[in-house]
Amino acid sequence: MALGVLLKKIKVRRFATRGIKDKEPLKNNRWIGISHGFYSVERDGNSEGSVLAQREQIEGLELWLFGAFDQQIGGGITKYLQSHLFQKNLNEIQIRRKAKEIMRKAYINSRANVHKGEGANEVAGSTTLLVMNGKKFIAADFGGYKVVVCKDGAATQIGRRNKKKKGRSFISGLLQLKCVTNSEEYKLGKKSRLAITVQDVESDTNFIILASDGVWEVMRYQEAVDLIGHIDDAQKAAECLAGEALTRMSKATISCIVIRFH
């Protein structure tokens, strides 16, 4: 079956991006130095996942918040992050210091609220990405949702555990696993771990993929990077990634965001 025909048979939800009115307005999902595209699939009229793209400016600091969420948990995480990250009285240093802790609490609080509901056992997962002035990003993921960074054509999943890698120090604790690589993993349940990573956007950082389990269950990280690496248009790249997951007959939620750095 042709890809175009397959895509027409499945409804796609694309949430609007909320920008601010300033001297550099949003045009075609692109700001100077950064562009993005997103795609989230609905099956049989039922929404399985959601995506978020939001831009804010606070005291000269330009923030981009992206997210791909399981439907059960996305609203809670989004609301918590928006109410705590975008406080007008916070400066750049304060946001950098508090962002990781705010993300951690957003996930833990939302997770706890989901489990208070009836029949809420395990949620599929979620990813978020906070980009500051296009120079530094803080990424978080857990469950089947993953954040993959492409640097100079090579794919790396954030927070990936590698006990053989020199320089990592594993410390047992109730919620966290700290590593000297500036990555942290927080245990949220038997099958889900929250990984939070802070990295600089360097000259070889090409793009970042936030995607659900429906993407990663049918393709490897490097496959995804190779598939869209030549596509400069971030929106077309996201559509291509979702389309390929559909072509490979993925049965799980398919949501993805592609953020390109220019």
Q: For residue 237, what pLDDT is reported?
A: 97
pLDDT at 155: 96
For residue 253, give every residue at least 6 positions away whose Cβ sits within 8 Å of its Cβ, in sequence order, or none.
41, 48, 49, 70, 71, 124, 212, 213, 214
The answer on pLDDT for 256 being more than 90 is: yes
- Per-residue pLDDT at 156: 94
Each residue's pLDDT tens digit, 1-47: 334 333 433 333 333 333 333 334 444 555 558 999 999 887 776 66
Say how far apart CA 4 and CA 19 lie, in whole Å: 31
Ordered structural domains, the chain, with CATH: 3-254 (3.60.40.10)
Give the chain's mean pLDDT: 76
The model's pLDDT over 44-53, given as tens digits with 9 standing for 90+, comes to: 766 678 899 9
Do 37 and 235 form a contact (C-beta atoms < 8 A)? yes
When pLDDT is averaged across residues 207-220 and rounded to a whole number, the result is: 96
Q: What's the pTM?
A: 0.79
53 contacts: CB under 8 Å, gap ≥ 6:
15, 17, 18, 29, 36, 38, 64, 65, 66, 257
Percent with pLDDT over 90 in the chain? 41
Range 243-256 average pLDDT? 93
The answer to whether residue 257 scores a pLDDT higher than 50 is: yes
Q: How many CB atoms lie within 10 A of CB 23?
A: 4
37, β-bridge pairs = 258
Residues 99, 152: Cα–Cα separation, whole Å: 27
Question: Are the beta carbons of 242 and 256 closer than 8 angstroms?
Answer: yes
The rounded distance, in Å, linking the Cα atoms of 37 and 126 is 17
Q: What's residue 71's pLDDT? A: 77
pLDDT for 216? 96
